[in-house]
Amino acid sequence: METTNSSNQTSPPPPEGSGNKRSFIERHSASIKLVVIGFLTLLLLIPLGMIRGLINERKFTKTSAVQEITSKWSGEQVITGPCIAIPYTQERMVNDKREIVTKDILLFPEALDIQGDAAVEKRKRGIYDASVYKAEITLTGAFDRGEIEKAGIKKEDIRFDKARVIMGVTDLKGIRETVSLQLNGKSFAMEPGIPVENLFTGPNPALNEYLPETEKSVAAPNVSTGIFAAGLNVRPDSLPGDTMRNEKIPFSVTLYLNGSMGLYVVPVGKVTTVSFQSDWTTPSFGGDFLPASHEITKEGFSANWKVLDLNRSYGQVVRAEDSSAINLVASSLFGVKFIQSVDQYQQNLRSVKYAVLIILLTFVVVLFIELIKKNPVNPFHYLLVGLALVLFYALLLSMSEIWGFNLAYAVAALMTIIMITLHMGAILRNRKQGVLVGSLLAFLYVFVFLLIRMESYSLLAGSLGLFAILAVIMYYARKIRL
């Protein structure tokens, strides 16, 4: 009887496709994980948009608080003049009848010298503050009656006896002391208001480029209502009858003025020289002319301007009702804004722009560790890390309002890095890999901070940095097979 040794029998091969075949999810797990990461990144754009909206809301809240402070103290001040409003008669035909109408011309000074000294302090409303100042401003110069002849007005039509000296001051609430005008050696107390009936006062479309967007750090103030919407005047009736007919009429006036945020003047002199000094250390010079010289030290700043009539688009005599000419006069203003050295809201907005970059690069590094070390990470933990990165910007905003941007950035970044490092170390079950993620995050935060601090070279530095980061990612991506 034959026996068969079962140990020598060859077992049939397993059916093709059974046992060792991996499922679709197993074969494409890395690709699926990339899709999930992309979806999570897009999902995180929602809270990032909310953070951006919160920054704009807080910026608006600060602007409202500053406006409340300045409305009670005094706003930005723009000084125009002094100048002489001189009535004249003009004959015109109306329905075949001759009619005599009275209009005014504005005679600007031949020479105008302005000396200003401002002491700046901060007034707070809650956590917000505004820069307010007390200034002493002295204006001296002289009028040249000969300029009137160049306007083409007959001497016999001019009413010198009705002339009035006017000076535009945008916010009369800021005047601390009575104002006396020294005119041709005599003193006159100035009164509020500018009672010139046909004087154009606004609006002023020529200054749209200077209007603040919520709050600009530079440029000129909002004088859209006109430079003569508010001011002072005096009618020098007690002067000898021929005083206003003199060729040269010297004047001098001193203003003790409160203001906030900025101080500006209009160069109405044929030759206008201005000298400002203050204890404020972060001035921003704006308007139509920059200072010819300036010096900024730890104790404050000083600045000097010199503007000729050749530098402007109007002459020394302007018709009071000529809106185009008055707008040209207003658009030539210049001065200084007492700005805060750092706008934390603008820096917060700039930092949020790099949020997607930080989130994506952090996710990519975690994915590389997961694929190379064969240490899977649940998408839920990716989401937690992303939320922590988004929360960084809420921390940054809230802290920067109290401590300033630089310190707030360092504290918020350190808190976020420590939390994510500890979390990833626990999830990956490897402290070194957690420290690797934290180190990358620290590098990214430093890189973004440097970009925020840069201005002219931020685009170049950012492009080169991203190129280097992408090169590193491409190098390590060689080891991954999706």
Last residue of a domain, one of 289, 323, 341: 341
**In which element (H, E) is residue 31 found?**
helix 29-73
What secondary structure letter does DSSP report for 356?
A: H
Q: How far apart, in Å, do the first and last CA atoms of the chain sit?
A: 59
Domain check: are 227 and 150 in the same one? yes
Last residue of a domain, one of 341, 369, 396: 341
18 domain-assigned: no
Work out how many domains the chain is built from and give that number. Answer: 2
Question: In angstroms, rounded to a whole number, what is the distance separating the alpha carbons of residues 277 and 293?
Answer: 12
Query: What residues make up the domain containing 38?
Result: 28-58+345-479
pTM for this entry: 0.74
Burial class (CB in 10 A: 0-12, 13-18, 19+), 427: buried
Nearest C-alpha neighbor of 335 from the set 279, 282, 291, 272: 291
On whether the CB atoms of residues 208 and 165 are closer than 8 A, the answer is no
- Across the chain, which has 482 residues, the per-10-residue mean pLDDT values are 48 52 61 82 90 90 84 89 88 72 89 95 83 94 85 79 91 93 90 88 48 40 71 77 67 94 93 95 90 93 95 90 89 88 81 89 84 79 90 92 90 93 87 87 90 79 84 75 56
Domain check: are 464 and 449 in the same one? yes
175 domain-assigned: yes
Domain check: are 270 and 359 in the same one? no
Q: What is the pLDDT, as a whole number, of residue 414?
A: 95
Domain check: are 329 and 258 in the same one? yes
Domain check: are 46 and 99 in the same one? no
434 domain-assigned: yes
Give, in order, the Cα–Cα distances in Å from 370 to each of 382, 387, 393, 406, 436.
12, 20, 27, 34, 13
Q: Are strands 111-125 and 128-144 parallel, antiparallel or unpaired?
A: antiparallel
Tokens for 397, please give them: 């905003």
Domain check: are 229 and 265 in the same one? yes
Domain check: are 428 and 374 in the same one? yes
Domain check: are 390 and 460 in the same one? yes
Cα 200 off chain centre by = 30
Backbone angles phi, psi at 312, to 5 degrees: -115, 175
Domain check: are 246 and 356 in the same one? no
Helix, strand, or coil (residue 456):
coil
